[in-house]
Amino acid sequence: MSNLRSIKSRLRSIRKNQQILRAMKMVSAVKLRRVQTVLSAGRPYAQWLETAVHDFLAQVAEHEPPHPLLARRPARRVLWIVLSSDRGLCGGLNTSLFRYVQQALAHPRLPTEPALLLVGRKALDFFKRPQKIAHNFRIEQAYPLAEAEANILGAQLCDQYRRGLIDTVDVFYVRCPSTLRQVPELAALLPVVAPPAPDRPQQQVRLLEPSAESIADDLLPRYVISRLRQALLEQQLAEHSARMIMMDQASKKAADMIDQIQLDYNKLRQSMITRELADITTGVEAMA
């Protein structure tokens, strides 16, 4: 009987865990759809910005002096932004990203020691353990990054680049090309590089009002902020996707465990019933 009670207790525990896993999967699915909606809503604006920046740079390339956000300098002050999650239970999402950053840190052609701007508790926990990393870096700052804060950070980065406080800015994040696939990615934010040509004939801008410089002052920071925001949303999308997959797999594994334990319970109960029937039969025969 004690074995039966322990098995039933284990079954109850696993079923409760399975309910929690299913609930977490549903929550991740809802958050995933929410981020997908935001990404889809912002994609036309991001594409328009890319087209506008491409056409503008193609128009002024030969006639205007380079804008400060376009100026390339020797990479003496390098800033890397690492986007990670605050919570775990998302498989190897953060591990693959940190491995990708470590490979970049180990690159023999890395010009200088980069400063890391860490976003997410997991990145801070990982990069604060110097014994785990054999390469030099320094942590610039670390904080959670919401969508509104991404706009502020993008504007601050542009301002620091103008003033020569930083020479290059790159962002490491995880891109989610499909729900079942997450890929570490590196995107260069500053200096601004002309985006690829759009799938249409280039539009020649004949007149720039009020001036090319003032247009660049408004357009290029918007482009940097848009790219940073897209990277943040892609990272969130990958996180919720990975967590949803992990919770689904764990829920299925719990169901398999429940089936196996239920089978063991039935076998044990059947053997106990058979033994009791045999004892009763033996007693009846002895009395006869």
Residue 66 inside a domain? The answer is yes
> Is the N-terminal amide bond of 191 cis, ω within 30° of 0?
yes
CA nearest 174: which of 249, 250, 100? 100
CA nearest 190: which of 39, 114, 80, 64? 80
Confidence band of 2 (pLDDT split at 50, 70, 90): low
Domain with residue 94: its CATH number is 3.40.1380.10
Q: Read off the pLDDT of each residue in 8-30 and give the average, rounded to a whole number.
A: 89
Residue 139 belongs to domain spanning: 24-246
Q: Are 53 and 89 in contact (CB under 8 A)?
A: no
Rounded Cα distance, 43 and 48, in Å = 8
> Which pLDDT tens digit goes with each residue over 33-63?
888 888 888 888 888 888 888 878 877 766 6
> How many domains are contained in the chain?
1
